[in-house]
Amino acid sequence: MADSQSRYEERRIDTGRITLNVRIGGSGPLMLFFHGITANSAVFGPLMDAFSDRFTTVAVDQRGHGRSDKPETGYEAIDYADDIAALIKTLDMGPAILVGHSLGSRNSVTAAQRHPELVRSVVAIDFTPYIEDEVFASLSARVNAGDQAFADTEAVVAYLANRYPNIPAPAIRIRAESGYAPAADGLRPLASASAMAQTAEGLRADLVPAYRDVTRPVLIMRGADSKLVSAAALEKTHELRPDLPIVVVPGADHYVNETNPDVTINAIRNFIDG
């Protein structure tokens, strides 16, 4: 599946505040993609394929992840959001459509709230305010458990398939082949363990102000079987901002864009064309 990424140019872009590794393709207005915690830009291949005929599509390794810079500190929402703003300014192609999953969803909404002039709209996939404390505790445990060495890529595939049982095998292989690199004791995650721990803790911060105050259009997506965003959290978010459209994807868990890419693509098309 690594070949499926070869049509996109991979490059590192110095934004003046951080250097970010991106995959870029297509032409037209700017559409940026931001992954979830511990993932990287490669997971958005199917979505980039769908939109590169109309947009310049740029999938980003966020700070601490993939092949982007990994500073010792700076893993709060505003740090990630200001990276997004700096990238849009550096590319000089805004305002941009932001598509974010989980961590990337939080960061995209925060960026739109802080820098509305740089953002056209946001697709916020499976992350909202009001996520319960016990959910964050479970997430932190899973994230920290990922800091280990693997004998080879097949061992990574087996680990990820067990960790993400609903993600299809081709998407699991993309994660395995793009997210790990040789180390002294085997293959280790490209994502910095320290950055992941800080990021997981930072996810607990109050997201209500960003959602309450964002003025750009936001589409909220949730997997009907998500273990991260409960039905109650989604309902409270709807009460906070009843004007924001919501799409709930039947049969999908937290990893909506990987488990149900076609539904995700159609929802994004309907949103941006509407």
Catalytic residues: 102, 126, 254
Instruction: Return the pLDDT at 7.
Output: 79
Residue ranges, the chain, pLDDT below 70: 1-6
Q: What are phi and psi of 240, to 5 degrees?
A: -65, -45
Instruction: Return the pLDDT at 5.
Output: 52
Interval 199-247: pLDDT, tens? 999 999 999 999 999 999 999 999 999 999 999 999 999 999 999 999 9
Instruction: Return the pLDDT at 274.
Output: 86
Instruction: Return the pLDDT at 2.
Output: 41
Instruction: Return the pLDDT at 94.
Output: 87
Interval 41-54: pLDDT, tens? 999 999 999 999 99
CATH 3.40.50.1820 fits domain 2-131+207-273: yes
Instruction: Return the pLDDT at 3.
Output: 44
